[in-house]
A and B are shown apart, each in its own frame.
Chain A
């Protein structure tokens, strides 16, 4: 075994030492012959005779050399090595074409790899649980409503008691644990979940250290335990092995750590901001019977042999009987079962498919383009191939040679593409909206590398096959022809024309897509949000003992900080936040400080802003325009009371608080009043760099409230980003793809026309000798180019027209068949084609008839 291995290693090494070994061997033979000759001479033979005899004794030198080479290395590997070297030589001999192919391939493969890694992480990757396809998520649909929502405690309990389709059923509620200041560790807020003990059984994951909690922990007073994430374990405890039994200084009393989850576990899977600890969920007594609020998400594992549909039907019956048991005519609801994977991937699936489609388009254009370039090269090389064939190369040898050439190209292009993907990955991820599931999983992992490698082989073969096949056909005829006018078979020409048309058509599709997304985004950005969202810093402050007076003194401190222009605060309904607090008439309601509207740049429409005295005395209110119209459809609201008695003192402009795509909601603003304030957001207009002042703001907050947790400050721009990120991403990506496709198609047109002109040099010479004018020649080339591009353009427009419907959901304020967009795309393609074809056409017009004819 060892000997075999040694032999193999020696042979593999020999493949790469081919020349050196040959040289050594020749030298050894020389030495041998010299020694033999010497010996024979010493025996009295003439020198000439001795040399002859020595050679005869030795045997056939060439055969031996052949046998030596065969024994030395690995013949197949040797052939491959030779093919690769010859491919490299041949690629080097045409540096222009090689560079073009490599650049095209690098960009296309880079784009493909990067996009695929996103799609893979978001939609394709397996969930990190045992048998994940049996895990389902259960939502409830209130009758008569389309949206799904979480469960209330009584419904959950009833469902758990009566169901018989799940082996385990767990409820999950979001939780937050505030940690007190401890030693040097600043107070912080941990993202947590309250889960029932079955949680670990449903997912079939157990802690890596310690234990999970059990039903016995789900009792009031015994529930101060937690299982923490691997991340928290390493961050706060440095991965200490004796973490079990240690305590977290939570604001509501210490929490004992009983276990640590494995590193690869995350729930929700792959969230950018993962959960850091899980605590037992104890249902409060008052919630056990009354449907006070709905906040429980249910997950469950299906019993063996029960299908999703069967479980859904069974749960429907359970829900029906539960509904019947409650107030007649009260809320009725139905359960909605989906696999956890579907719940996770959800709506993003069609988006990811669209991205994948777009990038596939780019890759196909690149392949077709390269195939065309190689076809042209192969026909220019038909003489070389014919000579090789005449010298004994078989068709297989020639085909293999061309295939290896394209594989060398595709593999090196993919390798560089991987680098491009690796570099662009960070930008790509930062452009994606942060709510995208499994964003944290996006990586160049083995799966992605495998796909990249496979597509390198497939593309290499795809664009290498056409030239290889064509070589079979041309070899026979090439030597017979004069050699100067390497006319190609008509079929070869038709193939190249088809490839060019395909390139143009696909480029049109991508450019139309890019134009639609660009228009969408431009229109989105042009929408007036009603405020100035630049340079606004939001800092959440949640003290246990806050009051309007203390916050007022905090504001006084903060406004002193250099760099802060306006300091204000608000209790609820901040622009672009997800939570919303309303009064019973569904009008948004919040308390704001005097300078709130100035900080946000919200204009006053009539009346006045709040003054310092508005908190006391007669209760007043400021409305936004939507609320003003809501309360007073026909009258001027200033000075009039709204239901509840507050008097309107001012009306401010509408703010698109739910992002530019949602309608403005009515809002009323109250002045800050005395009383406990638990949750307030500082809204600060800063003059330039927000990050410069954050530390001083934190210092001021801690001076007033020493124990308060200060989460990382947000800027309003960031908050807005979530609402526009998907469209921005689509626009950026598709624009890059569109430009790429245009460039590739342009190169294709240029290459094709250059080739045609080179082929027709003699014909053009004759025409000119017979009296053709230069402009005739110029136009004849351009006409030819425009004919082919025209066909591609029409095909592309038809294709785009058909495909545009499928991206309609991703568009904003632009019709999928917007005539302006299609018109502009036509223009762009036409200009690109003209630019690409002009240089070859001019070269044709400059042909000197004498030179052209002398070539014969």
Chain B
């Protein structure tokens, strides 16, 4: 069975989740899904459930941690927090993206930004 999305998208999603956690602080899966929908507009629209695979991977890599807490509607929910290692990783990935974006801009030419 093939993975639901390509590797590039997976990496993108990881980075987006890390970034969202950095900006929002501890957050549950649903909150993160909403946030990503909001920023990604329709271009990056994925099933909300997919985000949980991404969260699982990040937990396994030790970049985020998960704890049980209570959501705003009083339900038991799992909250994710950016770890110290995750923060470092975010810096590295951001740099990577900036570099790739620069390269791609040069490859695709000046009229690409539109």
Residues of A within 8 A of B (CB): 3, 6-7, 10-11, 24-25, 27-29, 31-32, 34-36, 38, 57-61, 64, 67-68, 71-72
Which residue of the partner chain, among B50, B59, B75, B76, contacts A10 with CB atoms under 8 Å?
Answer: B59
> CB distance A57 to B75 under 8 Å?
no
Q: Taking the complex as formed, is B62 at the interface, i.e. its CB lies under 8 A from any CB of chain A?
A: yes
Whether A71 touches B49, Cβ cut-off 8 Å, given contacts A31-B78, A34-B75, is no
Which residue of the partner chain, among A10, A32, A60, contacts B29 with CB atoms under 8 Å?
Answer: A32
> CB distance B71 to A68 under 8 Å?
no
Q: Taking the complex as formed, is B53 at the interface, i.e. its CB lies under 8 A from any CB of chain A?
A: yes
> CB distance B48 to A59 under 8 Å?
yes
- On chain A, the residues within 8 Å of B53 by CB distance are 64, 67-68, 71
- On chain A, the residues within 8 Å of B50 by CB distance are 59, 64
CB distance from A71 to the nearest CB of B (A): 6
> CB distance A58 to B48 under 8 Å?
yes
A-B contacts, 28 listed (Cβ < 8 Å): A3-B62, A6-B60, A6-B61, A7-B60, A11-B60, A28-B29, A31-B76, A31-B77, A32-B28, A32-B48, A34-B73, A35-B28, A35-B30, A35-B73, A36-B48, A57-B47, A58-B49, A59-B49, A59-B50, A60-B47, A64-B50, A64-B52, A64-B53, A67-B53, A68-B53, A71-B53, A71-B57, A72-B56
Residue of A nearest to B55 (CB): A28
Which residue of the partner chain, among B28, B47, B56, contacts A71 with CB atoms under 8 Å?
Answer: B56
- On chain A, the residues within 8 Å of B4 by CB distance are 67
Q: How many angstroms from the CA of A287 to the CA of B61 in the assembled complex?
A: 80
Whether A68 touches B30, Cβ cut-off 8 Å, given contacts A6-B61, A10-B59, is no
- On chain A, the residues within 8 Å of B30 by CB distance are 31-32, 35-36
Q: When each residue 38-79 of chain B gets 1 if its CB lies under 8 Å from chain A and 0 otherwise, what string results?
A: 000000000111101100110111100000000101011110
- On chain A, the residues within 8 Å of B57 by CB distance are 71
> CB distance A31 to B71 under 8 Å?
yes
Q: How many angstroms from the CA of A604 to the CA of B71 in the assembled complex?
A: 106
CB distance from A581 to the nearest CB of B (A): 82
Whether A6 touches B49, Cβ cut-off 8 Å, given contacts A27-B76, A32-B30, is no
> CB distance A38 to B73 under 8 Å?
yes
Number of A-B contacts (CB under 8 A): 71
> CB distance A68 to B52 under 8 Å?
yes
From B28, B50, B60, residue with most partner A Cβ within 10 Å: B60
What DSSP secondary structure best describes chain A's contact surface?
Answer: helix
> CB distance A28 to B73 under 8 Å?
no
- Interface extent on B, as a size class? 20 to 34
- On chain A, the residues within 8 Å of B71 by CB distance are 31, 35
- On chain A, the residues within 8 Å of B75 by CB distance are 31, 34-35
CB distance from B1 to the nearest CB of A (A): 8
- On chain A, the residues within 8 Å of B56 by CB distance are 68, 71-72
Residues of B within 8 A of A (CB): 4, 28-30, 33, 47-50, 52-53, 56-57, 59-62, 71, 73, 75-78
Q: How many angstroms from the CA of A58 to the CA of B33 in the assembled complex?
A: 10
From B29, B49, B77, residue with most partner A Cβ within 10 Å: B49
CB distance from B65 to the nearest CB of A (A): 12
Q: How many angstroms from the CA of A64 to the CA of B61 in the assembled complex?
A: 20
CB distance from A21 to the nearest CB of B (A): 9
Q: How many angstroms from the CA of A490 to the CA of B77 in the assembled complex?
A: 61
Q: How many angstroms from the CA of A185 to the CA of B6 in the assembled complex?
A: 81
Residue of B nearest to A32 (CB): B30
- On chain B, the residues within 8 Å of A58 by CB distance are 47-49
- On chain B, the residues within 8 Å of A25 by CB distance are 52
CB distance from A241 to the nearest CB of B (A): 47
Q: How many angstroms from the CA of A32 to the CA of B47 in the assembled complex?
A: 13
Residue of A nearest to B31 (CB): A35
- On chain A, the residues within 8 Å of B78 by CB distance are 24, 28, 31
Residue of B nearest to A65 (CB): B49
- On chain A, the residues within 8 Å of B47 by CB distance are 57-60, 64
Residue of B nearest to A67 (CB): B53
> CB distance A28 to B77 under 8 Å?
yes
Q: How many angstroms from the CA of A38 to the CA of B72 in the assembled complex?
A: 11
- On chain A, the residues within 8 Å of B77 by CB distance are 28, 31-32, 35
Q: How many angstroms from the CA of A38 to the CA of B59 in the assembled complex?
A: 27
CB distance from B71 to the nearest CB of A (A): 6
Q: How many angstroms from the CA of A27 to the CA of B59 in the assembled complex?
A: 17
Residue of A nearest to B75 (CB): A31
In the A-B complex, the 4 residue pairs with the smallest Cβ-Cβ separation, listed nearest first, are A59-B47, A10-B60, A64-B49, A31-B77
